[in-house]
Amino acid sequence: MSAKSENAETKESNTKAKLDDTWAIRPCHLYKDEYDDCSSFKARFHQYFIYGQDTDCSQWLTDFTNCERYEKSNGNDLEAGAAVIKSEEQRRLTRLRSHLANDTWAKRKQPPEDWAKPLPEWLQKRNENTYLELKQKELSGVATETPEEQRSFCAIM
Question: Can you say whether the dihedral through the CA atoms of 27, 29, 33, 35 is positive or negative?
Answer: positive
Confidence of residue 146 (pLDDT cuts 50, 70, 90): low
What are the tens digits of pLDDT across the range 42-87? 999 999 999 999 999 999 999 999 999 999 999 899 999 999 999 9
Average pLDDT, the chain: 85
* Predicted TM-score (pTM) of this structure: 0.60
